[in-house]
A and B are shown apart, each in its own frame.
Chain A
Amino acid sequence: MTKRRIEPLVWMTFSAGGVTAAMFMPVLAFLFALAFPLGWITPPSRDHLLDILQNPVTFLVLLGMFTVMLVHAAHRFRYTLYDGLQLKWRWQIAMLCYGGAMLGAGAAFIILGQVF
């Protein structure tokens, strides 16, 4: 019964995470995963990044973004395993996916807090 009530909330978070990932991930991934490590663009100084991260607005925005994107990924991957791989352990997969997302959100809270 609880599952019924929680399902719409999960779908809403899934959508919010999908929009966030679609809008923010291309530029973040391009800069931090490709352009800076490969030297296409000179990486910003550590002080500059620390400056951005120590703004409370950044803390809140990033925590929210990371959380909804993790729920998005968990929700979608759950159905990929059900439908794609035809896996049968539905309850265990759901726990693993959402549990992983919650763990990740907790880690994000701690890591984002450590910059202060």
Chain B
Amino acid sequence: MSQDLTYRRPISTWWWLRKRTYFVFVMRELSSLFVAWFVFFLLLLIRAVSRGEAAYEDFLDWASSPLAVVVNVVAFVFIVVHTVTWFAVTPQAMALQVRGRPVPAPLVIGAQYVGLAVVTAFVWWLVLR
């Protein structure tokens, strides 16, 4: 690899606070941390379930502690941000065509919300039946 000697104007660490769109972009990117957090949280839950009745009760108790609730409320908001922004950019990331004609963006976005509803109903049924 050759050294890149082009001059780059230094950018402030806080560049994303200057404009609303920059801020939304950084929040969207930060949602990834909370996706990882919930994977970790669900793994703790599964571990508790495998360890027995008492461990499961303890997990639910821990999850209802103020700190856990605050973290999870914030994390849930970021998950919603992730879902909404992910659906919104899909038509730009993936140009769908049906019989040689482009599928309109609102249709692609709408179809994803239908998918979300189906998945939500299925998981809800599976867990609570």
What's the Cα separation between A55 and B39 when bound, in Å? 19
Question: How would residues 9 to 52 of chain A score, 1 for a CB under 8 Å from any chain B CB and 0 otherwise?
Answer: 00000010111011111111111111011110101101011101
- B47-A32 in contact (CB<8A): no
- A50-B49 in contact (CB<8A): yes
Say yes or no: A66-B43 contact (C-beta < 8 A), given A25-B38, A27-B120, A85-B13: yes
Task: Tell me the interface secondary structure of chain B in the complex.
Answer: helix
- A34-B79 in contact (CB<8A): no
Kindly identify which residue among A52, A66, A104 contacts B127, using a CB–CB cutoff of 8 Å.
A52
Task: Tell me the interface secondary structure of chain A in the complex.
Answer: helix
Kindly identify, within residues 25 to 67 of chain B, every residue whose CB is under 8 Å from any CB belonging to chain A.
Answer: 26, 29-33, 35-36, 38-43, 45-47, 49-50, 52-53, 56, 60, 63-64
A86 within 8 A of B: yes
For chain A, give the interface size range: 35 or more
- A66-B75 in contact (CB<8A): no
A111 within 8 A of B: yes
Question: How would residues 111 to 123 of chain B score, 1 for a CB under 8 Å from any chain A CB and 0 otherwise?
Answer: 0100110011001
Q: Which residues of A contact B (CB under 8 A)?
A: 15, 17-19, 21-34, 36-39, 41, 43-44, 46, 48-50, 52-53, 62, 66, 69-70, 72-77, 79-80, 83-86, 104, 107-108, 111-112, 114-115
